[in-house]
Structure 1
Amino acid sequence: MKNRVKTYKRLVCLTIFVIITCVWISDSLSGATVKERIVTAPHPVLRQKATPIDRKDHETIQLLIEMANYLDDSIRPIAGISLPQVAVSQRGFVVMIDDEPIIMINPLITKVGQEMPSLEGCLSLPGRYGYVNRNSSVIIEYHDEDWERQTLRLETFYAFVVQHEYDHLEGILFTDKLLAEAPERLRGSDIPLE
């Protein structure tokens, strides 16, 4: 009987150890995965049209939450990041609006304003910057991480960021839209990357 109790106690201790280790490894990996998962051109996922996210796809929604934390905790300003940029061809991205990360699942741009040039860069195209035409305002509909339907009207910079991230869902890079007549120049490191 004593041997069974010892064996049982060892098994319980081992099980608790394994659970704690798995949780610790999971937490450790999730903090590092977003930055490490960012893919750069010519990675093929950047050219795929992304598929919709299912409401029950908790893994992808959790990844979007981790992406939001990555943007929120980043020392360097980053304006947005899309799922295709972390090698997941699904329709979702995170944008920073008024210093808050906003998760947009299955977004749809419904109305747009007049075009104007936007100077852009991209995490998936390091060191590349250039001007593209973007709409000066947009109305975007999306689901948030709690699957609540949301609608935002965004102007200028935030509208540009949303359009940049939306292009990633369509397999389009900002370099596909570079304006020949606009001067290409580097911008300071304090300007957020889209």
Structure 2
Amino acid sequence: MAIRNIVTSEDPILSKPCRTVEEFDDKLGQLIDDMFETLEKAKGLGLAAPQVGILKRVFVMDVGDGRVEAVNPVILKESGKQRDVEGCLSCPNQWGYVTRPNKCRLRAYDRHGKEFTMDLKELGCRCACHETDHLDGLLFTRLVDEFVQMEDA
């Protein structure tokens, strides 16, 4: 495993849509392992492949109830609303209020190509939506309705 560099918001790769993963191979598994290691070192909740310079539809997250690896993720349905402060490893020192669904159903594949669905709520839903946005080239800063200083958050 290796810790990868996290690209910042100035990098144009973060505004590009990612390609669908078609090969579920050792290279994909290595990317996912590296992303988890990078996420852990950065003390983040989620990390999308474009944040480490790879335009593939992959994200990893761990919001405290276990690791999730999502390849070719799709948010199938959403319900409710929540408004809370978000940050991003690619946008250091930027924080702001974003409204997201309170619950969602995620469909994705694991590193071996096995399809799964999971129902997420609150922080898990927020994180999955944030990371899925990255895969579509959308930074959270475009969704912020009020920027805040971290000590205000």
TM-score (norm 1): 0.72
| Counterpart check, 1:150 vs 2:116 | yes
CA contact (8 A) 1:111 1:138 kept: yes
State the Cα RMSD in Å: 2.0
Equivalent residue runs for 1:112-123 within 5 Å: 112-123=78-89
Instruction: Flag structure 2 segments of 5+ consecutive residues without an equivalent.
Output: none
TM-score (norm 2): 0.90
Q: Could you tell me the percent identity over the aligned residues?
A: 29
Ranges of 4+ aligned residues in structure 1 off by more than 4 Å: none
Report SS of the residue matched to 2:95: strand
Q: Which residue of 2 aligns with 1:184?
A: 148
Q: Which residue of 2 aligns with 1:7?
A: none
* Residue of structure 2 aligned with 1:64, choices 12, 32, 37: 32
* Residue identity matched to 1:151: T
Q: Which moved more, 1:108-117 or 1:97-106?
A: 97-106
Cα distance in 1 for residues equivalent to 2:128 and 2:60? 9
1:53-112 deviations in Å (ceiling 9; x for gaps): 1134532331112212333x43x6310000000011110000104342211000010010
Rg comparison, structure with higher value = 1
| Counterpart check, 1:105 vs 2:76 | no
| Counterpart check, 1:129 vs 2:95 | yes
Structure showing greater relative contact order (alpha-carbon pairs closer than 8 Å, 6 or more residues apart)? 2
* Residue identity matched to 1:185: Q
Instruction: Flag structure 1 segments of 5+ consecutive residues without an equivalent.
Output: 1-29
1:119-142 deviations in Å (ceiling 9; x for gaps): 100010000000011000110000
Report SS of the residue matched to 1:127: coil
Q: Which residue of 1 aligns with 2:2?
A: 31
